[in-house]
Each structure stands twice: as structure tokens, then as C-alpha cells.
Amino acid sequence: GPSEATVYATFKDLTRSTRISIGRPVLNTRVYILDKHKNFVPPGVPGEAYISGTCVGIGYIHRIALTKEKFMPDPFVPGQIMYRTGDMCLLNSQWDIEMLGRLDNQVKIHGLRIELGEIETALQSYPKISEAVVKDFGENTDKYLAAYYTSSQPVDHAALREYLGHKLPHYMIPSYFIAKERLPLLPNGKIDRNALLEPAATLLHMVPGKRVPLTKKERTMRRIWTKILGVKNIGPDDNFFALGGSSLDVIRVQAAILQYDWRIRTQDFYDLQTLRAVCNAIDQVPKNQGGEQGPEARKNVAVNRADKPLGGVKLDRVLLTGATGYLGVHILHELITAYDSSVYCLVRDNKHIESTQRLKQTLAFYFGAERSERLTKNIRLVQGDVSSRYLGIQKKEWEALGKSVSAVIHCAALTSHIGRAELFTQVNVTGTENVVAFCEQAGASLMHVSTMSVSGTRYTDDPGKNGTFSEDCYYIGQNYLDNEYVKTKFLAEGAVLDAIDRGLDARIFRVGNLTCRYEDAKFQINPHA
């Protein structure tokens, strides 16, 4: 427990526990998990922990402002004081409190909320690093992350960056790594983050190392990168994101190169990343605007229509993927309230919240705690992953699940428009192929959720040509390669159409742009949406 609550606030016997938590409040102590309005959050929903009871102190000596911020009257028990911990917690399915991290250890960079502790954990898992701390610098769109670490031997930052790339999203990888003999500490032994100064100007604005000659195009691109990133001496193999570039900086570069009549896709920056590779991609852009689009197109041109007559689909026992997404959770609600369906929800765990809690949290956010509790009576949760073989469950469970459902609604997808190509393929294409395989062995009908964006933005052979892309169309020569999301959703449709050709009872639903809920303007819980 925190010092502000004397000695102990919660307790948990971990002897036989398989899941670590901080337990339950000790006697004469209460722990509230509240939202920003100081209202209780439902079980499974993260909130800030407040401690109340006889153990709570009355404040900090000679620190009136901080005392007022952290110690306040308990609104639930008159005459008591409660302490605001700053810890993000939730109440799990065993009614134990789980610690998710510090609220003051979260930062927002380029619109993305980042947990610094998660980055620090990844850094400390690197074999050569002993201790690590991450701090954000800058303001607004110029914010960036710097990592400070201690090590008994030299650390290759390129290798470290590659290592982190397998553990973290690209936007969570620090722009700078600074080795320290020791990290500054406060008197209580905690790291003094305020003593970590912004990286020196020479570190920020110079990239050391041997340089090789640049082409004329590379020199022009280097000037643009230097102006936008504030980094000098950039070489052909320097990584755009390693130099501190962000998704907004990508847009700035794209705007700057228009004067040279150059074009490059946003996705190319994420796939290629280095100065030379990006410049080479510019050379190839004109070639990609006409003619055949590659093996994916040739492979899938054969099936353009699904002319098989459609019958009714039984929705009494449904497997739903993507139930924690914006569209998926509303389909789940409709299945239960309108059809009284028994719904098997395939949900994967994430780093902070188990699958049960994720689903409860999503339902409570959109439909309220009381209503969500009623909905869960019709839900059977399956912990798995569409991108894994047998949907991430044991083969026997996979076969048993197939005997339990009559239809599958496949909503799960990676819907960002930029990111690593292999991840999009794994989730959107392989995931759909795995769902198709499940339906074929189970004899279940498939309803596959796609996107209207598969219609593309133009014809590849004649960008100025007008045409019509109807619900019967699949490939009419449209360009579907502009981003990995559209490309992989196009290929996923191809997998479903191939299955229809083999005899699977399946339908494809192309969804348009999802905005707020019409009845009350409720928007997506996902802060990145």
C-alpha cells in the first residue's frame, strides 16, 4: 500500500494464484475505482483507485496545494477522507483489484495515448540493459520520446530498435536512446524523472557515422527531411522514424515533394523507412499506375460474382469475431435483443485486460452497466485469436465449437490505414482464411464484414476513367494497393469468394464509414479511431 494510507491498503495471498493482482482491501479500508467524474466504474472497466478508511493520513506536511489535490472528503462515507492514488486499476472477475499502471505515467503523442511503463518494461527485457526510464519532451505535434538506460556494456541502438519493433508498435519506440552511468534517484529511491534533461542539441540535430555519396534525388529528399525533422547529416540508410519522424511528419514530407511532382504512399514510409529506399519507391510510382497489379490481382480475378441464390440463415447459435470493436459490439447487442441468440464471442487477451473484462468493459461503455449485465447471460466467451490456427484454441475445442454454432459473423479486422504490412496480412487475410476453414468444417454459414473501400480510388490502366463498382463487383481493374488495410480486405474477400465457389454458404457485407451512434452520438471507445 502507499505511504499515504499508512502501511497496507490491500492484500492478496499469491501462493496458488495464476493471475497477479493487488487483492482486496484490508479491514477498515475501502478502495473505490472511479471515473474522472468520481462515479463508480463497472467491474472490468479501468478507473482511478481511491483509498478511504481509518488508515488514510490527513495530508502532506507544509504542502498545502498537493494535499488539496490528493486528499479529499469521501463522498460515500461522511466524515472520512479518501486519498487519490493516481493508479489505474480495475475490478476483475474474481473481485480482486488489478493494477494497470500509473495515470501520471501516460502521455499522448501525435494523438496516441502511450503507457511509458510498457516501453520501460520492453527496454529492461533487452539482455544488455539493466535499468531504463522513458520520458517525453516537446509540445503538441513536436512531442517525442527519449529513453535513458544503464548498461555494463555498449548497446547497439540499431539492434535495440529492431528488438523493440517486435515488442511495441512503431509509435511507442523512443526517438533517442541515451546511456547513463546511473539514473538519478529521489531520496525515497525512486527515479527522479525531473532530473532527466532533454537530449543535448548535438544529439538531436546530428547523426554520426560514415556517409556514402547520395544521388540528386536523395540530396533533395535529405534537405526536406532535415527541414522537417531538424536533423542534420542524414545518410541514405538512416531510418525516418529513428530520426524522430512521426505520421504527421510523413504528411509534411508528402506535401513538400509535390513541387517536384513526386508521389509516395504513406504505407511506403512504414515499409521502407530509410532515405534511399523511400527515394527508390518514388522512381517506381509511375510504373504502379497502370497495367497489371501483381499476383494478387491475377489470383483473384477469376471470381467476380457470387451468383448462388441465398437462403435464410439461422441466427440462434452464432460465433461472432471482433465483438469488442465498435461494429461488433452493436451486432452483438442486436443478436441478443432482436433474435435472442446464443452468441459465442471469440475475444483475445491483451497486455492489460483479460478477454472477459474487455468484453464487459466494451458492453458497459456503449450500453451501460445494468444492461450489459443482462446481455452477458446470452454470451459464451471463447478466448482465442482469428489469426492463429484453429482460431487460437485447442483442436478438440475448435471441433466442439463447430458443432455448437450454426452461423459465423466475422467482424474482426485490423482497421488502421497505416502500419506493418505483415500484421495486416496476418489479421485480415490469414484471419479470414482461418474463419473460412472453421465454417467449412462446421457446416456453418458465414457472414463476412468487409469495407466499401475495396472499390479502390481509380482504374489502374486509366486513372481518369469513370466507372461503376456495384455490390456484384470484385475486381474491375481498380487500384486497391493504396494502403494495406484496403489491400488485405480485398484479398480477404477473395478468400471468401473462393470458398463460395467451393460450396460454402457465405455472404459479404461491405460497410461504409462508421461515425457516431445516431441516437445519442456515442462514439468509438478506441482513442485511435
Tens-digit pLDDT profile for residues 349-386: 654 456 777 788 888 888 887 787 888 888 999 999 99
pLDDT score of 129: 93
Q: Nearest-CA neighbor of 452 among 485, 428, 423, 429?
A: 485
What's the whole-number average pLDDT of the chain? 82
Tens-digit pLDDT profile for residues 431-476: 999 999 999 999 999 999 999 999 987 777 777 778 888 888 888 8
C-alpha cell recorded at residue 269: 514510409
pLDDT score of 492 more than 60: yes
CATH superfamily for 313-511 is NAD(P)-binding Rossmann-like Domain (3.40.50.720)
The DSSP bridge pattern shows strands 176-179 and 29-34 to be: unpaired
Residues of the chain with CATH 2.30.38.10: 3-103
Q: Which long-range contacts (CB under 8 A, 24 or more apart) does 371-374 make?
A: 372/42
Question: 3-state class of 163 per DSSP?
Answer: helix
Residues of the chain with CATH 3.30.300.30: 110-197
Residues of the chain with CATH 1.10.1200.10: 216-289
CA distance to 38, 116, 428, 432, 439, per residue, from 171 (Å): 31, 12, 21, 27, 36
CATH superfamily for 3-103 is Luciferase; Domain 3 (2.30.38.10)
Taking residues 229-256, report their average pLDDT: 80
pTM over 0.85: no
CATH superfamily for 110-197 is ANL, C-terminal domain (3.30.300.30)
CA distance to 50, 429, 479, per residue, from 81 (Å): 10, 54, 63
How far is residue 52's CA from residue 41's CA, in Å, rounded to a whole number? Answer: 17
C-alpha cell recorded at residue 415: 482497421
How far is residue 401's CA from residue 387's CA, in Å, rounded to a whole number? Answer: 17
- Classify residue 146 by its DSSP letter: E
Question: Which listed CATH number (1.10.1200.10, 1.10.260.40, 3.30.470.20, 2.60.40.1240) goes with 216-289?
Answer: 1.10.1200.10
pLDDT score of 320 more than 70: yes
